[in-house]
Structure 1
Amino acid sequence: MTTGSRGLEASERSPAKSRAEGPESQAADGTTAPTPAVAVDDLHKRFGTGPDAVTAVDGVSFEVDPGSVVGLLGPNGAGKTTLIKSILGMVVPDRGAVRIKGIDAREAPRAAYAHVDAMLEGARNDYWRLTVRENLRYFATISGVDPASVADRHERLLDRLDIADKADEPVRNLSRGMKSKVSLASVLAGGAEVVFLDEPTLGLDVESARTFQAEIRRLAAETGLTVILSSHDMGVVETVCDRVIVVSAGEIVADDTVDGLLRQGDAHTVELTSPAFDRGLLATLRDRVEVTAVDRLDRGARIEVTTDTEGLYALMATLRDQDVSLSRVRTVERDLSDVLVDLTTAEGA
């Protein structure tokens, strides 16, 4: 990490570029498995004492493979920020272990965090008196990298993030969106193997956000960059993440691919339109299924129903028995936001 706002102070960083690797792990079949880029084991963090104490992180464990992009999601107050800061060493956990590239972050913090960089929401990640290019060179330098050796990477980042024409401008003169791009570029400037990004597209326009997503996927595929990303923008998460970890009330409540999360459960949402939907029929339907929305029309209504497979069969049987003619049927696809709400509400978040 490169500045106090990104984790450890620069003075706490290892100045050497060569980094000690942790041991490889042994797979169940006896083969050698790659060392996880990040391994979190039974992490706990509690603030305060007595009846007013708050448990922010409650026994969290997970591993992240090298070269993967993992989304860390949850509602406000779920414990995501405390979890990220505990992993980064900015908050000292009460118990549990964090390993970066196999290195115990508590026993050897300088060696572990030499692999890591981060951009946290609300943090001032760059030096506004320096130019854009100077920021990239500075953050590469304190990461232990000769900036001249990565000049081509810096030019590519400037070009891909569409800030090349601002490269020699002081950051303080740039717009909020441009400053966000500079922060992203600075995080990637030193060639860290693991990066944590908290709301990385905040302040970016649509085109810039798409550019960021493409660059993250490219870096993960071509360089093995490992990314742990927290965002409220489900579009970004669905586009770039190989896997999603959902946190609620300090615990992991789901850990799956995006497709796996979208397939969870047996709930179906269907939009039905019919001129026969009057008050009496709607009351009958409400006794049988969950009617989540009603839009009354000049003749009849358009309703939205959420139910499982058996409930859907029963609904259609009821409509057939009532001799209801449907003018339109549309399946409403659940998105990641719906899944997140269901998971965290179920856990009492």
Structure 2
Amino acid sequence: MATHDEGPAVTVSGLSKVFGRRGNPPVTAVDDVSFSVEHGSVVGLLGPNGAGKTTTIKAILGLLTPTAGNIQVGGVDVQTNPRGVYRNVSAVLEGSRNIYWRLSPRQNVEFFTSLQGIHPKTVREDHDEVFDWLGLTNKVDDPVTNLSRGMKQKTALACAIARDTDVLFLDEPTLGLDVETSLDLRRELRRLAEHDGKTILISSHDMDVVQDVCDRVIIMNEGRVVADERIDDLIALFRSQTYRIAVSHDEAALRTHLHEFEVTDWAVRDGHIEFDVVLRDGDRFYDLMDTLREGGVRLDSVTAIEPDLEDVFLTVTENGGMQ
């Protein structure tokens, strides 16, 4: 179990980043973002492309200088003591060379472990275990440059995990992984958090991974935090607010009756008209039923659609935040 100082594992306060280009107007990538991450938790940082999440991650890791704001990792200020932060953080950044391609997976893991002050020979069995569940055992001595994209990703993950830091940042960690390895990684990340007390931040477009692994999600859009909730609580806010309805009625007349509601996914199946209705207010369900009854619409079925994290993510980002 990791030992921790008092206070959150990661604290971001008033973070802003403005990129200026000569001859062009400045671009605000991150605008007054604040959040904290507790020790031993797994947090998803989500957002559409251009939302500012990658800039936020790089600022936390000390890879770029913020325009404003303060960041601490394990109580250490990122700007004034970056080396102190690096000792506590490992990262896998999507689209970056996180490892040395001329070295083998084993040599990479031994190198990055030694940077942490750990003698590789004392943890060789631990490294072999990581290689095994990542499916790297037969490739540990091959140069990384000869490996597939998936194997390169596995090597980067092995290096990050082997450094045994308190905080782990993973940007698109399952990219290029086969299904079995992806499932194994999810289980290992939960184990690292629950049994070893590691703090893990994940940025991914794979909502299944985030929903399976994370305790909480922070959703960014247009440089701001638009939602910050535990996953179960966030999904519960949207539960039973979308209904799939099947009726027997003239479609043109039905559309007229429902003009005041948010209706999507019209379809005709087996002589029935089916559509989805999104209700922002729970009391609107009774208004919907009254509208259908007053219009003489024969109701065949009503089914509450259980949302998942992807549904919530799309709704929050499309509406600019929690309603």
When structure 1 is superposed on structure 2, of 76-85 and 51-60 the one drifting more is 51-60
Write the mapping of 1:159-238 to structure 2, written as runs, cut at 5 A. Answer: 159-238=132-211
Stretches of structure 1 that go unaligned for 5 or more consecutive residues are 1-20, 25-33
1:1-349 matches, cutoff 5 A: 24=5, 34-48=6-20, 52-264=25-237, 268-274=241-247, 276-307=248-279, 308-322=281-295, 324-347=297-320
Do the aligned partners of residues 73 and 224 (structure 1) sit closer, same or farther apart at CA in structure 2, a change above 3 Å counting? same
Is contact 2:218–2:228 with CA below 8 Å preserved after alignment?
yes
Equivalent residues of 1:46, 1:54 under 8 A apart: yes
Cα RMSD, aligned residues only: 2.1
Distance in 2 separating the partners of 1:295 and 1:202? 35
Letter in 1 for 2:287: A
Whether the aligned pair in 1 keeps the contact of 2:238 and 2:312 (CA below 8 Å) is no
Question: Are the counterparts in 1 of residues 239 and 305 from structure 2 also a CA contact under 8 Å?
Answer: no
Letter in 2 for 1:47: F
Q: SS in structure 2 opposite 1:229?
A: strand
Instruction: Give the superposition deviation at 1:329.
Output: 2.7
Is the contact between residue 285 and residue 291 of structure 1 (CA under 8 Å) also seen in structure 2?
A: no
Other structure's SS at 1:61 match: strand
Name the counterpart of 1:9: none
Letter in 1 for 2:233: G
Compare 292-301 and 224-233 and name the one that shifted more: 292-301
Question: How many pairs does the alignment contain?
Answer: 317
Amino acid at match of 1:116: V
Deviation string for 1:177-219 (max 9, x for gaps)? 1221111111111111111111111111221111111110011
CA distance in structure 1 between the partners assigned to 2:269 and 2:222 by the alignment = 42
Residues 124-156 of structure 1: per-residue CA shift (max 9 Å, x gap): 122222222111111111222211122122111
Q: Tell me if the contact between 2:240 and 2:306 (Cα under 8 Å) persists in the aligned partners.
A: no
* Residues 249, 298 of structure 2: 8 Å contact kept: no
- Once the 2 structures are TM-superposed, how far is the Cα of residue 39 of structure 1 from its aligned partner? 1.2
- Note the C-alpha offset of 1:169: 2.2
Counterparts of 1:134 and 1:157 in 2: how far apart (Å)?
14
The offset of 1:314, in angstroms, is 1.9
Cα deviation, 1:19-68, whole Å, max 9, x if unaligned, reads: xx99x5xxxxxxxxx32111112112111179711111111121111111
Distance 1:343 1:223, change over 3 A: same
What amino acid is the match of 2:18?
R
Matched residue SS, 1:82: helix
CA distance in structure 2 between the aligned counterparts of 1:143 and 1:232, rounded to whole angstroms:
30
Q: Gapped runs of 5+ residues in structure 2?
A: none
Kindly indicate whether the alpha-carbon contact (under 8 Å) linking 2:240 and 2:304 is maintained by their aligned counterparts in 1. no
1:71 positional shift: 0.6
Question: Which segment drifts farther, 334-343 or 57-66?
Answer: 334-343
1:286-323 alpha-carbon deviations (Å, 9 max, x no partner): 22422212112352311222123222112223334455
Counterpart-to-counterpart distance in 1, 2:272 and 2:80: 68
Q: In 1, Cα distance between the equivalents of 2:278 and 2:81?
A: 52
Q: Aligned pair in 2 of structure 1 residues 148, 270: CA closer, same or farther (>3 Å)?
A: same
Q: Which amino acid aligns with 1:221?
A: E
TM-score where L is the length of structure 1: 0.85
Percentage of identical aligned residues: 46
Give the CA deviation at 1:267.
6.8
User: Residue 109 of structure 2: SS of its match in structure 1?
Assistant: helix
Aligned amino acid, residue 285 of structure 1: H
Q: Is the 8 A contact 2:41 2:215 kept in 1?
A: yes
SS at match of 2:313: helix
